[in-house]
Structure 1
């Protein structure tokens, strides 16, 4: 069953349908996918920010720096040194949690419906790919050995009826958090992929 899912994942990315057993190849696909998602996140955030007045940008950025993203409840490395010390399985597991946490909120990102659909599809493909990488690197270990995976609420009261100012803040926070989390996943998967190449320099 895993081989079938893996093949579908590869085909969905336009890669050769020849059987692939090298996890380095799957890592490359996953990194490429999250890089694309990160670029989309940056573009959406940039477009939204450019539609704001300068004072609005300043105030929203100030508020965001004092606020938290839902995914901050997912325990992850606090800096690049801890990231480099983390095991491949740990980096993959954290990446999976971060991707999964956006499965529902991504449908409400500011932007066109076509972009939201594209992001949703890419997140699903990436999640399946990372899940396969976890299984390949698991070797009998528990995927989430540090406790129960937290069930994150869909960004608080984002879906409630909000005033204009509050709605603006929520949209800003959602886009900023998505960009932040895709950057995290890109970093973790890149470091994990690098670990498969002993001669590579995996410094950040």
Structure 2
């Protein structure tokens, strides 16, 4: 009887280890993809900033610091300490919503069509990967309530005819927010991935 218990324990440990290994592999792919998107966001933002005068950059940055991104309506950790305390599933769910919020808006990003055209398919791939991770982790944590999903409308001035100053501000805002959100997703996925390694130090 004791041998049976030991054998079942070993088999259970093996299955659990295999599941964690597969999850780590999925996380590695997701982290790699969001790192690539974050890099693209930085390049788009830099390309756009290079077309501005120094005073324009200063004024736009000042305005942006006082403004909000559309995705700020998605409830997320307020600092690194809350991020580290958040569950894997919570970090995945927030990441999913952040990525989803850019599926439409990313088509209007400035900074170069060659780079911009790479973003939409990569966002879709990342969204699919995060959904797979959410599904894989549902049995190990509580899923967000069905009613907690937040549908974000596109940026309010998408369909307006804008003057030069307003258009410049909108383009700057979109690029800055996209860069900010991809940084968030990269952080959340990196911390969530780290949680699968018990001996790892997940300090931000």
Cα deviation digits, residues 101-127 of structure 1 (max 9, x gap)? 000000000033332221000000000
- The residue aligned with 2:118 is 118
- The residue aligned with 1:61 is 61
**TM score, norm. by length of structure 1:** 0.87
- The residue aligned with 1:163 is 163
Between the aligned partners of 2:94 and 2:185, the Cα distance in structure 1 is 8
Moved over 6 A (4+): none
Does 93-102 or 145-154 show the bigger shift?
145-154
Between the aligned partners of 2:89 and 2:149, the Cα distance in structure 1 is 15
Structure 1 gap ranges (5+): 1-19
Cα deviation digits, residues 146-199 of structure 1 (max 9, x gap)? 843221111111331100000000000000000000000000000000000001
Between the aligned partners of 1:90 and 1:151, the Cα distance in structure 2 is 17
Query: Is the Cα–Cα contact under 8 Å of residues 106 and 116 in structure 2 kept in the other structure?
Result: yes
Secondary structure at the aligned position of 2:167 is classed as helix
76 and 146 in structure 1: CA distance in 2 versus 1, 3 angstrom threshold: farther
Structure 2 gap ranges (5+): 1-19
Rg: which structure is higher?
A: 2
Between the aligned partners of 1:168 and 1:76, the Cα distance in structure 2 is 28
Secondary structure at the aligned position of 1:26 is classed as helix
Aligned alpha-carbon RMSD (Å): 1.6
Number of residue pairs matched? 185
183 and 69 in structure 1: CA distance in 2 versus 1, 3 angstrom threshold: same
Instruction: Specify which structure has the higher proportion of helix.
Output: 2
**TM score, norm. by length of structure 2:** 0.87
- Residues 97-108 of structure 1 mapped to structure 2, 5 A cutoff: 97-108=97-108
- The residue aligned with 1:143 is 143
